[in-house]
Amino acid sequence: MKDTKTNNMNYSAAFEELQQIVSDIEDGEIGVDELAEKVKRAASLIELCKAKLTSTEEDVEKILQALEGGSK
């Protein structure tokens, strides 16, 4: 579910937009007609955030392994 609008977004921007969508839904600011599109957008943003977090976790693991290997 790749969205061209999310391809170049960083984690902070995606998370901020996701928070705004959730807030709008909770406040009842989104009409029924717009709800499906907002939910699809939220799903794309969640996918992006998960991918960025996974990538960052992998990078941190590599760095930690390199540090452990270098100290022996």
pLDDT in tens, 11-67: 999 999 999 999 999 998 888 889 999 999 999 999 999 999 999 999 999 999 999
Q: Could you tell me how many helices (H) and strands (E) the chain has, helices first? A: 2, 0
8 Å CB contact between 45 and 14: yes
Q: Identify whether the C-beta of residue 44 lies closer than 8 Å to the C-beta of residue 2.
A: yes
Among 46, 47, 3, which Cα is nearest to 21's?
Answer: 46
Whether the predicted pLDDT of 1 surpasses 50: no
Residue ranges per structural domain of the chain = 11-70
